[in-house]
Amino acid sequence: MDRAFRALIERTFGDLLTGPVRQRHDETEMRIRPGDVPAVVRTLHDDPALGFEYLGDLAGVDTGTDFQVVYHLWSVVTPDWLRVIADGIPRDQPRIPSITFLWKGAEWMEREAYDMFGLVFEGNRDLRRIYLPDDFVSFPLRKDFHLPDDASRSPGGGVRPMEDAATPADAAAATVRRTATAR
């Protein structure tokens, strides 16, 4: 845990942070609003005092109530992994700015997040399904998606022809099954 780094983050991003900067093991975690992602990421990348040149990971998360996009960054200034959580993306409007302007390599990771969560990354030139077929309609890693074998009554068991044609009229709406206890 790098206390000095925590202070640096708090000092740099003061009012952009939506929650406390948390630290555990070798990770430092900061939370921001999804709209602030480009500004924050650009500062992290370009500021010589920070110098987060390396994007370790980009992950979508469904907390059960809303979505998050989690970035992991690495820099020489701190021994910690920096975790940037873009918090509170609403379920009905899952939109977040893309970071492909900075890391072109995030394009496919954003495509994956779109494929799995339906997160729309604005500014990604190629935002389409990457693993699943193009005509797939649901988003499997959302918490209201049922595994086909554990809920056969779920509309469209993830099987393409069935999904296209055979959604029963009286199919029960999928429900959120799990919600994160720790935000």
Contact flag: residue 105 with other proteins (CB under 8 A): yes
- Rounded distance between C-alpha atoms, residue 53 and residue 179, angstroms: 33
Which three-class secondary structure string do you get for 11-23? Answer: HHHHHHECCCCEE
CB nearer other proteins, residue 16 or residue 132: 132
Q: Which stretch binds other proteins (CB under 8 A): 1-9, 89-97, 162-170, 173-181?
A: 173-181
Residue 129 CB, nearest distance to other proteins (Å)? Answer: 8
Entry field: residues in the chain: 183
Out of 108, 144, 157, 160, name the contact with other proteins by CB under 8 A: 108
Contact flag: residue 160 with other proteins (CB under 8 A): no
Q: Render 140-156 in DSSP notation, one character per residue.
A: TTSTTPPPTTT-TTSSS
Out of 10, 46, 57, 164, name the contact with other proteins by CB under 8 A: 57
Contact flag: residue 51 with other proteins (CB under 8 A): no
Contact flag: residue 109 with other proteins (CB under 8 A): yes
Q: Render 16-73 in DSSP notation, one character per residue.
A: GBSS--EEETTEEEEEE-GGGHHHHHHHHHH-TTT---EEEEEEEEE-SSSEEEEEEE
Give, to the nearest 10 degrees, the angle between helix 37-46 and helix 3-13: 130
CB nearer other proteins, residue 17 or residue 130: 130
Binding string, 1-40, against other proteins, x = CB under 8 A? -----------------------xxxx-x-----------
